[in-house]
């Protein structure tokens, strides 16, 4: 197998992408047309979907790099990406801008305290990015906080000193909150509302922190501002999603053995939505990178 012209051997097949090993401490990602939801592959769309996921992640990572947020991205093209091989932190880092999904359900059960000034209605916006951590390497992901976080980190990162792990975990919180503010502004400039997203991090041998994995419409949720406003006014049931949430909502009423048929029915529309948000982000990110004043403003 060749990844961007370089020899590679298959390591694993994930739900949405295949991972390959290259030389010199590198990995190769191949983003596929497989579609996953509810913890399983539910069908396939067109090959262009993989290209859109790859491009969206690469563009966002390129912006992070310009803002001194290190990522593992080395090279990309079409539906392929070459990245640094790093030690993965055993967590997912969730940043929320809108109250929906599991966060809204927990609030409704009295398990989540909202910042002052929020109404508590579904799809209400947080006054600033809201940060949570879930496990990544357990059988079932769960929220974690407090003293449990460094305990889990030390268990899965035995090669790093306690002080390094504590510094890294503080850095992840700072970086995730910063990324939340950044994405709010970038998505707004592209004509969308950043709802929430999940980030992953990795460490090199010196304990330097990097954003890893991918960050496209399979890892974030976004909608149009007008549809969010209509939803908050009860004119429509939910916002117009330009991410995998669009797929999930189509699948919820379908029987398990009928999910592949649903994917086939909405494949074109799903791809169009991924394409629209990817192209919009591409144009905005290119303008930001080429405009020193824009980069300076995002640094604040």
- Taking only the tens place, the pLDDT of each residue in 239-255 is 999 999 999 999 998 88
Across the range 109-138, mean pLDDT stands at: 93
pLDDT for residue 40: 84
Confidence of residue 24 (pLDDT cuts 50, 70, 90): very high
pLDDT for residue 56: 98
Confidence of residue 138 (pLDDT cuts 50, 70, 90): confident
Domain ranges of the chain: 2-84, 87-299
Q: Specify whether the CB–CB gap between 18 and 7 falls below 8 A.
A: no
Q: DSSP states of 142-177 as a string? A: -EE-TTHHHHHHHHH-TTS-HHHHHHHHHHHHHHHH
Nearest Cα neighbor of 241 from 260, 213, 266, 212 is 266
Q: Specify whether the CB–CB gap between 113 and 99 falls below 8 A.
A: no
In the chain, where do the E strands start and end?
2-3, 6-7, 9-13, 17-22, 26-31, 34-37, 40-44, 73-77, 80-84, 87-88, 91-98, 125-135, 143-144, 193-203, 209-212, 220-223
Confidence of residue 141 (pLDDT cuts 50, 70, 90): confident
Per-residue buried b or exposed e for 65-75, using 16+ beta carbons within 10 Å of the residue's own CB: eeeebbbbbee
Summarised one tens digit per residue, pLDDT across range 246-284 is 999 999 988 888 999 999 999 999 999 999 999 999 999
Q: Which two tokens stand for residue 44?
A: 């396939």
pLDDT for residue 236: 96
Across the range 178-203, mean pLDDT stands at: 97
Least confident stretch, 140-154, 174-188, 206-220: 140-154
pLDDT(27) > 80: yes
Thinking of the domain 87-299, which architecture would CATH place it in?
2-Layer Sandwich (3.30)
φ, ψ for residue 40 (rounded to 5)?
-165, 160
**3 state SS of 50:** helix
Q: Specify whether the CB–CB gap between 197 and 220 falls below 8 A.
A: yes
pLDDT(25) > 90: yes
Q: Give the whole-number percent of the chain exceeding pLDDT 70.
A: 100
pLDDT for residue 267: 93
52/271 Cα distance (integer angstroms): 8
User: Both ends of the chain: CA-CA distance in Å?
Assistant: 43
Exposed (0-12), middle (13-18) or buried (19+): which is 240, by Cβ within 10 Å? middle
* Number of alpha helices (DSSP H) and beta strands (DSSP E) in the chain: 8, 16
pLDDT for residue 253: 84
Confidence of residue 196 (pLDDT cuts 50, 70, 90): very high
Confidence of residue 47 (pLDDT cuts 50, 70, 90): confident
pLDDT(300) > 80: no
Across the range 129-137, mean pLDDT stands at: 93
Please enumerate in sequence order all residues whose Cβ is within 8 A of that of 212, keeping only pairs 6 or more positions apart, or say none. Answer: 71, 72, 83, 86, 88, 200, 201, 202
pLDDT for residue 6: 95
pLDDT for residue 256: 85
Average model confidence (pLDDT) for the chain?
Answer: 95
What is the topology classification, in CATH, of domain 2-84? Phosphorylase Kinase; domain 1 (3.30.200)
pLDDT(38) > 90: no
Give, for 101, the enclosing helix (H) or strand (E). Answer: helix 101-108
């Amino acid at each position: 197998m060749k990844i961007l012209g370089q020899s590679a051997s298959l390591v694993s097949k994930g739900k949405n992408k295949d991972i390959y090993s290259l030389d010199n401490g590198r990995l190769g990602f191949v983003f596929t047309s497989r579609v996953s939801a509810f913890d399983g592959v539910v069908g396939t769309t067109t090959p262009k979907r993989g290209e859109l996921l790859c491009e969206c992640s690469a563009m966002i990572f390129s912006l992070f790099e310009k803002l001194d947020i290190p990522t593992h991205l080395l090279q990309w093209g079409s539906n392929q990406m070459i990245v640094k091989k790093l030690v993965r932190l055993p967590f997912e880092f969730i940043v929320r801008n809108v109250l929906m999904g599991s966060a809204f359900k927990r609030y409704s059960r009295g398990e989540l305290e909202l910042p002052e000034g929020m109404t508590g209605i579904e799809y209400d916006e947080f006054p600033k990015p809201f940060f949570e951590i879930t496990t990544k390497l357990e059988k079932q992901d769960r929220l974690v906080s407090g003293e449990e976080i460094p305990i889990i980190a030390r268990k899965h990162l035995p090669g790093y000193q306690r002080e390094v792990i504590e510094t890294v975990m503080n850095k992840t919180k700072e970086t995730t909150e910063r990324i939340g503010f950044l994405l709010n502004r970038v998505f707004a400039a592209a004509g969308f509302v950043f709802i929430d997203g999940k980030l992953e991090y990795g460490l090199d041998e010196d304990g330097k922190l990097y954003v890893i994995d991918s960050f496209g419409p399979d890892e974030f949720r976004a909608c149009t501002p007008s549809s969010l406003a209509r939803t908050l006014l009860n004119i429509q049931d939910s916002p117009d999603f330009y991410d995998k949430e669009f797929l999930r909502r189509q699948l919820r009423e379908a029987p398990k053995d009928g999910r592949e048929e649903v994917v086939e029915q909405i494949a074109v529309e799903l791809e169009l939505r991924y394409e629209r948000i990817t192209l919009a982000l591409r144009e905005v990110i290119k303008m930001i990178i080429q405009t020193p004043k824009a980069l300076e403003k995002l640094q604040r």
